[in-house]
Amino acid sequence: MDKIVIQGGKRLSGSIPISGAKNSALTLIPCALLTEEPLTLRNLPRLADIDGFQHLMTQFGVSTGIRGNRPEEFGRVVTYEAARLTSTVAPYDLVRKMRASILVLGPMLARAGEATVSLPGGCAIGNRPIDLHLKAMEAMGAEIELAAGYVRAHAPDGGLPGGDYTFPVVSVGATENALMTASLANGTTRLTNAAREPEIVDLCNLLVAMGAEIENIGSSDLTIHGVKRLNGATYKVMPDRIEAGSYACAAAITGGEVHLDGAKADDMTSTLQALRDIGVEVTSDKTGVTVAANGPLKAVDLTTAPFPGLATDMQAQLMALLCKAEGTSVLTETIFENRFMHVPELNRMSANIETNGRTAVVRGTDTLTGAEVMATDLRASMSLVIAGLAAEGETQVRRLYHLDRGYERLEEKLALVGADIERVGDD
């Protein structure tokens, strides 16, 4: 298996192109199941999760046409066409590695009246039940059965009538599934306490481009008037705010200055504010966001929260940055209960971090040291890369399949701005 080898201590300077958002793309792709017409997605990142989802789509008879597949290019243009669904079953072998697979449940149920989907897998970062997905669909009139590791959903004769559902807690995935399901319901659906993440807005905008009727986009109270059919569309995936935030942390920990080309500041307000509080200079314009670390980093207290709060997907990267800050920082994780698995690996690099339940105390240190470390999940792996960029000596990061799920050609992008980083075969 490959590993990434980093020689730390290089100041990052230059421009990094920001790819299409993984978390958005994995929601936009299943929208192809809602229409017989072609759906073309531009700026689709080249990621293992995207490839896995495309394999899942072929299970249902969806054809895929890819443009922009030259090695020197970032992103692709992909057209999906589900003129006829040949199956409504998502088997375990295709679903087990990726939690986002559950997002095919709603579109298939809405269009075909039935769907059978294996319970999903994904990063081992805590308990992430799908009960809210199912309860929202039941509120719209679906009949749900759990058996032998599968979810079986059926619509009544004549289709889903639609209905009202209030999420007891904010759930991004459940909101996304509910939106797609409601778009083809016979009546009106109202979703209360819905997630407001930029990726939710991106999904709503695509659905509207396909002919859906959605009110109050961007709010926590969404009203969806079901339509009889949706048309195809051509749509550009939003830039990845988590990738942009990750590279911002990488630049800051090296005392560097990097332009995040294509990043949208409005989508990452909480991350940029956290960086400012840490002592990083942040500016933005229509071309992207620029971060510069020209002075000492300062300790801060951070708490993750649903949007517009600090994204849980940025917690590990900011923790790595705070390992080099002056003073003691406290990070509180409110979204997932098992998202500090990167802490022992960071401590192997001479970080000083203690955890207690959902709280981590980070005592800044003058020096991080290179070490052999192992990624435990997608964002944790990026935190190790960030620490390695500032560490003395060599850092080797293993289990790159985590990184490849969410960062398009990471080592190439970091090399563009001066990092001494390469992917090599593991002897």
pLDDT tens by residue, 202-240: 999 999 999 999 999 999 999 999 999 999 999 999 999
Q: Which residue has the tokens 């022992």?
A: 344
Share of the chain above pLDDT 70, in %: 95
Catalytic site residue from 123, 204, 249, 323: 123
**Is 123 annotated as catalytic?**
yes
Look-up of token digits 């692709």: 76
Cis amide linkage into residue 161, ω under 30° from 0: no
Model pTM score: 0.94
Domains in the chain: ranges and CATH: 2-17+239-425 (3.65.10.10), 22-236 (3.65.10.10)
- Residue 163 CA to residue 141 CA, distance in Å, equals 7
Question: Would you say residue 367 has pLDDT above 50?
Answer: yes
Residues 425 and 396: beta-carbon distance below 8 Å? no
With tokens 């801060």, the residue in question is 300
Cα–Cα nearest to 177, from 307, 34, 330: 34
Write out pLDDT tens, residues 135-171.
999 999 999 998 888 899 999 999 999 999 999 999 9
Statement: residue 360 has pLDDT above 60: yes
Asked whether the CA dihedral 270, 274, 275, 276 is positive or negative, the reply is: positive
User: Before 308, cis peptide (omega within 30)?
Assistant: yes
Residue 113: the pLDDT is: 97
User: Which residues are known binding-site members for UDP-N-acetyl-alpha-D-glucosamine?
Assistant: 99, 128-132, 313, 335
Which tokens in the block code for residue 32? Answer: 């192809």
Highest mean pLDDT (candidates 90-94, 184-188, 376-380): 184-188
Residues in the annotated binding site for phosphoenolpyruvate: 22-23
What are the helix (H) ranges across 254-352?
269-278, 315-322, 343-348
Cβ contacts of residue 412 below 8 Å, gap of 6+? none
pLDDT in tens, 90-149: 988 888 767 778 999 999 999 999 999 988 754 333 344 788 999 999 999 999 998 888
pLDDT at 368: 98
Amino acid in position 406: G
Strand partners, 166: 192
Residues annotated as binding site?
A: 22-23, 99, 128-132, 313, 335
- pLDDT at site 125: 31
Q: What is the mean pLDDT of residues 173-191?
A: 97
Rounded Cα gap, residues 214 and 190, in angstroms: 10
Per-residue model confidence (pLDDT) at position 69: 56
CB contact at 8 A, 62 and 33: yes
Reading the block at residue 281, the tokens are 């200079």
CA dist 343 and 8 (Å) reads: 19
Q: Could you read off the pLDDT of 386-395 as tens digits, one per residue?
A: 999 999 999 9
pLDDT bucket at 243, cuts 50 / 70 / 90: very high
How many separate helices (H) and strands (E) can be counted in the chain?
A: 14, 24
Give the pLDDT of residue 397: 96
Alpha-carbon distances, residue 120 vs 104, 108, 173, 328 (angstroms): 11, 16, 12, 38
- The answer, yes or no, to whether residue 418 has pLDDT greater than 90, is yes
